Amino acid sequence: MHLITLPAKYEQKMSIRETEKAIKFVKDAFQRNFVKNFGFERVSAPLFVWSKSGINDDLNGVERPVRFDILEQGGREAEIVHSLAKWKRTALKKYGFRNGEGLYTDMNAIRRDDKCDNTHSIYVDQWDWEMVITKEQRTPEFLKMVVQRIVGAIVDTLEETKKAFPAVDLTLGREVKFVTTQELLDEFPNLDAHSRETEIAKRYGTVFLMNIGGALSDGKPHDGRAPDYDDWSLNGDILFYDEVLGESLEISSMGIRVDAESLKRQLEIAGATDRLSHSYHRDVMSGELPLTIGGGIGQSRLCMLLLQKAHVGEVQVSLWPDEMRSECEKTGIRLL
């Protein structure tokens, strides 16, 4: 049986058709509030990129992308994106974005190796965004300011959703608790990473967990991060406490991106210096690509949180294990 949480006495607040209307409302409202807070431009984005180009997000380095050959182009291989973490940075340069300007886009991905549970699906949909910054803005203080704006857009969206759909009675805090992964380990040394996140989210409601990727005092990283897009000392996850599931829910993974120094250091730690032969990595090392901050904001995750759903399959259509679908039906969880 796949690990899922089945809340006791789970009650549906909306019919499926009402839920579909609410999903559209949340997505439209968040994009409007997000653009209001940042002024980003919407752009088109790829569903697939060339294999071995170095552009795809390698996630933890072990996940297999979905690959296919293109008949008309001599059988050259392409692969479905895992995310657009690297592509966005190259787009900012190609499209002529300047300091303080940014882009956002719909990102749709297939992560064939993800384990399905209440919050994970092999289908990923998120808003990917990226902004050009200066060297002087590569600081924790600037990162925190950006986090506050994103959280503000989320809370504004919730308030609009509650007015449009009175069945929603969720409350989220605008005040963000900033905590590092090492501080979290120091406070909860006997808990695993997700349990530590749940404890801090339950205590503060809205949390930004900083510094993800590097090894902590116990010799292990809090969570996996690819070594070639986020600077592990200037990144983090936005977490909210999900009262339906009784655990933390990550809504966004984001960070200030690597410069030449941090890219080289992190590739050495990861034993992945061979990637320096890729054009993307060469451009970072040479300073050809702009310094940026960026991330992804889960579309289905946000809908799940704001509409008080127990399973991401209630707000997105995907493929689920038969036993999971059966267990959800018994508990009143309606998968689309």
Residue 1 clears pLDDT 50, i.e. is over it: no
Q: Which of 58, 79, 89, 111 is catalytic?
A: 111
> What's the pLDDT tens digit per position in 74-114?
899 999 888 888 899 999 999 999 999 999 999 999 988 88
Q: Which of 253, 262, 299, 308 is catalytic?
A: 253
For strands 41-42 and 102-110, give the pairing: parallel
Q: Which of 250, 299, 300, 308 is catalytic?
A: 250
Question: Is the CA virtual torsion 158, 162, 167, 172 positive or negative?
Answer: positive
pLDDT band for 262, please (50, 70, 90 cuts).
Answer: very high
Helix axes 279-286 and 87-94, enclosed angle (nearest 10)? 60
Domain holding 97, by residue range, is: 47-105+131-295
Residue 240's pLDDT is what?
A: 98
Q: Is residue 260 part of a domain?
A: yes
Nearest of 228, 229, 237 to residue 298 by alpha carbon: 237
> What's the pLDDT tens digit per position in 317-328?
999 999 899 988
Compute the distance between CA of residue 302 and CA of residue 310 in angstroms, rounded to an integer.
12
Asked if 126 is an active-site residue, the reply is yes
Q: Is residue 54 part of a domain?
A: yes
Q: Which of 83, 126, 308, 316 is catalytic?
A: 126
CATH number for the domain spanning 213: value is 3.30.930.10
Q: Is residue 219 part of a domain?
A: yes
Q: Which of 58, 231, 237, 314 is catalytic?
A: 237
Compute the distance between CA of residue 25 and CA of residue 328 in angstroms, rounded to an integer.
25
Q: Is residue 118 part of a domain?
A: no
Residue 332's pLDDT is what?
A: 86
Residue 2's pLDDT is what?
A: 56
Q: Is residue 94 part of a domain?
A: yes
Q: Is residue 89 part of a domain?
A: yes
Q: Is residue 136 part of a domain?
A: yes
Q: What is the pTM of this model?
A: 0.92
Q: Which of 31, 57, 79, 259 is catalytic?
A: 57
Residue 184's pLDDT is what?
A: 97
Asked if 231 is an active-site residue, the reply is no
Asked if 111 is an active-site residue, the reply is yes
The mean predicted confidence, pLDDT, of the chain is: 93
Angle at the Cα of 219 from the Cα atoms of 214 and 221, rounded to 5 degrees: 35
209's tokens: 């967990």
What's the domain count of the chain? Answer: 1
Q: Is residue 31 part of a domain?
A: no
Asked if 253 is an active-site residue, the reply is yes
